[in-house]
């Protein structure tokens, strides 16, 4: 952190003090350099307010700089110090505010939770890392070095942060960086912060499902197939945690049965059950993953109880296994439940590709975390499914989103395949839709 390296990535597991460390560094830089300007960004503006402005920032000020006063302008979201230095807080999702912030030059910038941030947004932000200021030291003054700080729970190795910092390559061209020595990184994990974390929390992280454990406990980047249809960072970018949801126009309960009976579950896969809704904003919201390994008498109740709980409009189910049996299970569990039978006439990947394109366009949001479902989604590639077991959760999700966007049910084989790519960035610095 104190070296001459300009670009610094701190990555690793959850609650390992990555954010605290960088905020501490930025405040120190603001205090040492009168009149300097610094910026802290997240993907969403309300997230930077909740996690940095009202949480980490005051904690750092209290613990590390108890004698320093800073005035927080809650209208402009700027912390001002007596030496005229400023720290600006912003979200990359609000065009007008971000253009206002990026109309200035900064001596340091911090991209918090960069797994949610696109490479194009990183490049635009970096163009404003240009303020030249003097900082005070016991032995005199000197120019303050420019700093671009980044932190994240590591996403997949396809993310631009892995390519830049770990591989030392340009994410666009794949060529080795000419200034590779100007990129430094450090892995930080919760086991390094045990004195500040409850033992129960550490145990919870250590016992998470393998894919989530690797990311949030071991702090490792996920290995991603080049042709993957879903990636962690894509799901993260549009995930909903604390934000209010729009009213739902339509809610679907989707079922992907495995053919299991009440007495032979041990030889069958789980029954995928997903709840998803279409908001008044035209976006889809994944509300629950109720997948269960059980026979018809149980999964029928799980699906219909969800129908009542969410005041849903329809139950849809893939009927290749059992045909009319699936409809009967639903109707026995809840008479007169609106039901639609679906038939898998195309392969899993062909059905999944248009749904992954909706995720890429930011039109599907996971409301919370669904580690098992997300693990299955990330197992889909253009060459097939590479997961260990049948992706019943992912299949059920594909059925539900397809039903919410009926225009996708036409023959996709006649459409050109969509590639994962960064959007065009116009001269104004904002990504074209």
The CATH number assigned to the domain holding 129 equals: 3.40.50.300
**What does the alpha-carbon distance between residue 100 and residue 159 come to, in Å, rounded to a whole number?**
27
Give 269-309 pLDDT, tens digit per residue: 799 999 999 999 999 999 999 999 998 989 999 999 999 99
Indicate if 160 and 269 belong to the same structural domain.
no
Q: Which residues contact residue 6 at a Cβ distance below 8 angstroms, ignoring those fewer than 6 apart? A: 129, 145, 146, 147, 148, 182
Give just the sign of the alpha carbon dihedral 80, 85, 87, 92. positive
pLDDT band at 242 (very low <50, low <70, confident <90, very high): confident
Asked if residue 413 has pLDDT above 50, the reply is: no
Indicate if 268 and 343 belong to the same structural domain.
yes
Q: Residue 139 carries which DSSP code?
A: T
pTM for the full predicted model:
0.74
Indicate if 304 and 159 belong to the same structural domain.
no
Asked if residue 366 is part of any domain, the answer here is yes
Asked if residue 226 is part of any domain, the answer here is no
Indicate if 180 and 128 belong to the same structural domain.
yes
The CATH number assigned to the domain holding 346 equals: 3.30.420.240
Asked if residue 337 has pLDDT above 80, the reply is: yes
* Contact (CB, 8 A) for 419 and 158: no
> What angle do helix axes 392-404 and 348-360 make, rounded to 10 degrees?
60
Q: Which residues pair with 72 in a beta bridge?
A: 79
What is the average pLDDT across 153-182?
A: 93
Asked if residue 425 is part of any domain, the answer here is no
Indicate if 44 and 90 belong to the same structural domain.
yes
Indicate if 106 and 170 belong to the same structural domain.
yes
- What confidence score (pLDDT) does residue 92 get? 86
Enclosing domain of residue 50: 7-206
| Residue with more model confidence, 333 or 324 | 333
Asked if residue 177 is part of any domain, the answer here is yes
Indicate if 254 and 333 belong to the same structural domain.
yes
Give 111-133 pLDDT, tens digit per residue: 999 998 989 889 999 999 999 99
Indicate if 193 and 237 belong to the same structural domain.
no
Q: Are strands 147-152 and 7-11 parallel, antiparallel or unpaired?
A: parallel
- What confidence score (pLDDT) does residue 388 get? 67
What is the average pLDDT across 3-20?
A: 96
Task: Specify the number of domains making up the chain.
Answer: 2
Asked if residue 73 is part of any domain, the answer here is yes
- What confidence score (pLDDT) does residue 322 get? 57
Residue identified by tokens 């807080």 is 89
CB atoms within 10 A of CB 303: 30
Q: Are strands 284-289 and 364-366 parallel, antiparallel or unpaired?
A: parallel
Residue identified by tokens 């300009």 is 6
Percent of the chain residues topping a pLDDT of 90: 65
- What confidence score (pLDDT) does residue 325 get? 84
Asked if residue 423 has pLDDT above 50, the reply is: no
Asked if residue 216 is part of any domain, the answer here is no
Asked if residue 379 is part of any domain, the answer here is yes
pLDDT band at 268 (very low <50, low <70, confident <90, very high): low
Mean pLDDT of the chain: 88
Indicate if 272 and 393 belong to the same structural domain.
yes
Q: Which residues contact residue 361 at a Cβ distance below 8 angstroms, ignoring those fewer than 6 apart? A: none
Indicate if 281 and 398 belong to the same structural domain.
yes
Indicate if 162 and 92 belong to the same structural domain.
yes
Asked if residue 380 is part of any domain, the answer here is yes
Give just the sign of the alpha carbon dihedral 122, 123, 124, 130. positive
Indicate if 173 and 303 belong to the same structural domain.
no
- What confidence score (pLDDT) does residue 262 get? 54
Give 357-373 pLDDT, tens digit per residue: 999 999 999 999 998 99
- What confidence score (pLDDT) does residue 345 get? 66
């Amino acid at each position: 952190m104190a070296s001459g390296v300009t670009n610094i990535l701190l990555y690793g597991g959850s609650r390992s003090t990555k954010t605290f460390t960088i905020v501490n560094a930025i405040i120190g830089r603001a205090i040492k350099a009168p009149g300097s300007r610094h910026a802290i960004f997240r993907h969403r503006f309300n997230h930077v307010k909740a996690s940095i402005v009202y949480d980490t920032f005051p904690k750092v000020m209290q613990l590390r700089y108890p004698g320093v006063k800073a005035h927080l302008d809650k209208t402009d979201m700027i912390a001002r110090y007596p030496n005229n230095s400023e720290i600006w807080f912003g979200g990359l999702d609000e065009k007008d505010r971000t253009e206002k912030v990026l109309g200035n030059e900064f001596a340091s910038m911090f991209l918090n939770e960069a797994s949610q941030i696109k490479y194009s947004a990183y490049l635009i932000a970096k163009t404003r890392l240009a303020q030249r200021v003097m900082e005070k030291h016991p032995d005199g003054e000197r120019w303050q070095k420019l700093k671009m700080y980044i932190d994240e729970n590591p996403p997949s190795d396809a993310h631009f942060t892995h390519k830049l910092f770990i591989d030392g390559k340009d994410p666009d061209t794949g060529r080795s960086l000419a200034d590779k020595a100007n990129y430094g990184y450090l892995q930080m994990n919760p086991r390094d912060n045990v004195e500040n974390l409850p033992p129960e929390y550490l145990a919870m992280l250590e016992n998470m499902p393998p894919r989530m454990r690797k990311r949030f406990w071991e702090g490792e980047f996920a290995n991603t197939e080049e042709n993957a249809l879903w990636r962690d960072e894509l799901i993260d970018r549009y995930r909903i945690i604390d934000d209010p949801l729009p009213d739902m126009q339509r809610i679907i309960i989707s079922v992907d049965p495995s053919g299991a009976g009440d007495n032979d579950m041990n030889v069958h896969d789980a029954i995928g059950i997903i709840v998803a809704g279409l908001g008044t904003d035209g976006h889809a919201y994944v509300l629950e993953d109720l997948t269960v390994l059980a026979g018809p008498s149980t999964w029928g109740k799980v699906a219909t109880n969800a129908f009542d709980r969410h005041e849903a409009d329809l139950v849809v189910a893939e009927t290749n296994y059992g045909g009319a049996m699936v409809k009967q299970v639903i109707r026995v569990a809840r008479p007169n439940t609106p039901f639609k039978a679906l038939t898998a006439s195309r392969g899993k990947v062909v059905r999944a590709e248009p749904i992954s394109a909706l995720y890429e366009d930011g039109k599907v949001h996971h409301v919370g975390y669904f580690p098992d479902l997300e693990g299955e989604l990330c197992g889909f590639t253009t060459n097939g499914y590479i997961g260990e077991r049948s992706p019943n959760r992912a299949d059920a999700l594909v059925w539900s989103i397809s039903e919410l966007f009926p225009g996708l049910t036409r023959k996709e084989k006649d459409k050109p395949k969509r590639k994962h790519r960064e959007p065009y960035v116009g001269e104004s610095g904002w990504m074209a839709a």
